[in-house]
Each structure stands twice: as structure tokens, then as C-alpha cells.
Amino acid sequence: MSPLIAVFDVGKTNAKLAVVDPALGQEIWSVRRANNVVQGPVGRELDVVAIEAWLLESLRAAPQRERIAVIVPIAHGAAAVLVDHGGEVLAAPDYEDPCFDEVSAEYVPLRDNYSLTFSPSLPQGLNLGRQFFYLQTRRTEMFQRAAHVLLYPQYWSWRLSGIMAAEVTSLGTHTDLWRPHENTYSTLARKQGWARMMPPQHPANARLGRIKSGVAAATGLDADCEVACGIHDSNASYLRFLMDREREAFTVVSSGTWTIVMANRGDLRRLREDRDMLANVNAFGAPVATARYMGGREYETIAQSGDEPTVDAVIEVLSLGSIALPSFASAGPFSGRAGRLEGVDSLHGTQRAALATLYSSLMTAVLIESLGSAGEIFVDGPLARNPLFARLLAACVPVGTVRTYPEGGGTRVAAHLARLPSPAPGALQSVAPLRLPGLLEYQANWRHRLEER
């Protein structure tokens, strides 16, 4: 029987465990849970204890678990866990804790220049360095006990294998800790002593070792099952396209809690710190021009339901002139502005979903244009499953063909990260632009309203 892969994906909002069969090129089983934030000794914390209990229980329930040969951890950015010399978890801070803003005046002058890190100064704990500085200066006794800092995907690979590692995609995600052109830690990370707390670096697809005996006993997995180093979630989305097109210009719209636009071979000179633009670092260590906003959160705020949009509902929103203006979350190119909804009082669920989809398309088009992106545009994640988003986006961008990836498209990435033979790439689906009467006029008015604000 061919080996299976367990992909453990911890997003900010949900965690998912999927079993994929690279021989079939598809996901054969999955389960997910909503993530919570808990109150810990240092403030708001990621609920790593509950997530781990759920993971072990889910692995035990997974079909054909005895065939799982590799576990691949994937997790969101701006997150790390502090561990002491004895392996006790001291803190797993939540980046949305406002306490991190308390140290801004002291912290900001210590940061390396944006031209070196391509990491914009962000609110709360979205810069991982700001979290560390807060803990170092405000929770000094606890911080002095810390021996190791584990980036979030590698925290999970450590919990499963007992082996500590660091990896560049999480290091290069607006942390203030990494200089991508030099492939080295920032001056800030070295001076504060944080770089010394990082384990040795490994590639995302390195196999760190076999699962711990306790994990094997708790899950029923084969004791020879191995654990991959793991990767930052948006970079996992990006990698599925990069694997076949490393030398081409293309753009990936990775969606979830965040909508992250990554431009392969993009010009880093276009990045603007004041617009929340940054350089991510891909799985091969190269910087990637990136713009983003908290698209999933903003969509939920506008839609207020799980209804799906329809073409008729979009037409009704356009005719009514209902409009959503950013921003409805704490990050993105228009952070600091208060989001505004106008003409929405009479809208029902499907129309609210249409407005949210329209807003998402307009915001994403702005991000794509800000990066000067060329080539094809690939939509991945929940927005690829929205029946209208990609078609509206195709109508709103001046150049570029919009395409979506079929379900199960992550199997090739899972196989790559597990170092198992990869299935053939699935067929990408080209998207016909949804050219509706009044859409371009609506887009022009929306952009004009942005400039007014």
C-alpha cells in the first residue's frame, strides 16, 4: 500500500487535519475545529493545549492511519512559542493582544530599517519582534526562563517529533527578525539575544525524525511515521504554484483569515511600509513582494452570514449603490481608517454576501496593482470556492488572467513537503470575467471615495 500524508494546518481561525494520498493525488479525509484564544500568564494566548489534544484524538480517528508515513505541519505567521530548558511551554502569545502596543515607543527605534527587512511596523503583535520585546521587558522573569523560541509550524513539529528546528518562511513573515537579501538574522534579533534562542534552520521539507513514542501510543500511528519541518501557511499556498513556475511572473491570492497577494519575480522597490506591504520569504529562501489585508475577517464583518452571493444580488447591490469602505480590521493598506457601510440597511443575507464579495474583489485588485503584478493570477483558499469572487476580480483587474486551482490541489505541496513522489499537477481553471453593467463605474467611485478619505 502506498504511503499517506497527514497535513496538520493551524490557521488563525481554524485548525484542519487532512489525510492525503499522493498516489491518488487527492485528499481522502479531513476534520477541522475552530480555534480559541485563552487567558494565560502573559495575556491572550493561543490554545495550544486544546489544539494538541484535538490533533492526537483526530489522528487516532483517521482512516488508514497505519499508512500515514509523514506528518506535515503548516501554521499561520506572527506566532511563536517560548519553551524552557526542560521543555515546558512558557508562553504562546496571540498576536492580536493589544498589550504589545504598550512597548511601541521603546521598540520601534530598535528595528532594522525597512529597506533591510521589508517588514512593516504593524500594530499589536503582528511583528514577532514586538512580542519578544514586550515579554523581555514586561515579563522579564518569565522570559529569562526561556531557552528556546519555536516558530509556530516548528512548535508543532517539535511536539510531534521532539526535535527543534527553525525555518525561513516563518522567519521572513513581517517578524523584524530576518534580512531576506542577506539570508541572515536582523541586527535587532542578534542584539536582543533572540537569534541565539532559535534552533538550527532546516528546509520546510526536511524530515526531522520519527514521531515520539508517546505520540505513537496516543494516536495508533506507526512508530516509523516521520515529521516534516513545516511551513508558513501562505507560503504553502504559494508553493503549489512556485513548484512549476519558479522563473515566471505570476501572482497568488492566498485567502483565509488573511488575503495575501504574493507576486513572483515582483519588484521589491514597489513595496511601501505605510501600505502594509512586505517581503515574504519563500520555501527556497527568496524574498517575495507581498501585499495583504485581513480579508476573511473583513468579509465576515460585511456579510454577517454564511449565505453565498448570486449574480442577481451583485446587480442589486450595484443598482442600490450600497458600498463598503475600509477598513474593518487592524491591518492592511488602509489600517487606521474606520470601516464604513452605506446603503446596507435594506440588504438581506445574499445581498450582504454579494457586497462582501464585491468589496473583497476591489480590495484584492488594489493590492495586485500596487505590486505591479504581471502574468497569471491564481486564487487559492476559501475565496477560490466563492462562486463569484474570482470572476469579479477578473473584471476589476486591468491585466492578467485569473485562474483557480481545483480541490485537492494542495496534495502536490503536501507530497513535496513530505519528500514523497508528487502527483501530476491538476488542471487550472480559467475564470470568465463577470462584466456587469455599472461595475466599472462602481469601482471608479469606490476608489474615488478611498482617495477622499
CATH number, domain at 259?
3.30.420.40
Mean pLDDT for 173-178 is 97
Residues 325 and 262 grouped into a single domain? yes
Last residue of a domain, one of 180, 206, 229: 229
Same domain, residue pair 338 and 197: no
Interatomic CA distance for residues 95 and 409, integer angstroms: 29
Q: Is the dihedral of CA 382, 387, 389, 391 positive or negative?
A: positive
Is the pLDDT confidence value at 262 over 90? yes
pLDDT score recorded for residue 59: 98
Handedness of CA 244, 246, 251, 256 (dihedral sign): positive
Cα distances (angstroms) measured from residue 56 to each of 13, 121, 143, 215, 281: 19, 37, 29, 7, 31
Burial profile 126-157: b = 16 or more Cβ within 10 angstroms, e = fewer:
bbbbbbbbbbbeebeebbeebebbbbbbbbbb
Element (H, E) at 251: strand 250-254
Do both 185 and 151 map to the same domain? yes
In this structure, are 422 and 276 located in the same domain? yes
Residues 89 and 204 in one domain: yes
**Res 442: pLDDT:** 98
Query: How would residue 453 be classed by pLDDT, with cut points 50, 70 and 90?
Result: low
pLDDT of residue 98 exceeding 80, the answer is yes
Q: 280 pairs with which residues across the strands?
A: 288
292 lies in the same domain as 437: yes
CA 329, CA 25: separation in Å to the nearest integer? 37
124 confidence band (pLDDT: 50, 70, 90)? very high
36 in the same domain as 12: yes
Residues 243 and 320 in one domain: yes
- Give yes or no for residue 109 having a pLDDT over 60: yes
Is the same domain home to 158 and 257?
A: no
In angstroms, rounded to a whole number, what is the distance separating the alpha carbons of residues 25 and 426? 9
The answer to whether 93 and 135 are in contact (CB under 8 A) is: yes
Are 407 and 441 within one domain? yes
Domain membership of residue 271 as a residue range: 234-452
Grid coordinates representing 34? 475552530
**In a 10 Å sphere around its CB, with 0-12 CB exposed, 13-18 middle and 19+ buried, how is residue 271 labelled?**
buried
Cell numbers representing residue 172 in the block: 521572513
- C-alpha grid cell, residue 121: 511596523
Tell me the CB-side half-sphere exposure of residue 293, using CA atoms within 13 A: 27
- Cβ atoms of residues 227 and 204 within 8 Å: no
Q: Can you tell me the distance from the alpha carbon of 123 to that of 335, in angstroms, rounded to the nearest whole number?
A: 9
Instruction: Give the chain's domain count.
Output: 2
Q: Are residues 314 and 446 in the same domain?
A: yes
Residue 408 has pLDDT above 60, yes or no: no
- pLDDT computed for residue 407 by the predictor: 58
Say whether both 183 and 117 belong to one domain: yes
pLDDT at 95: 96
Average pLDDT value for the chain:
95
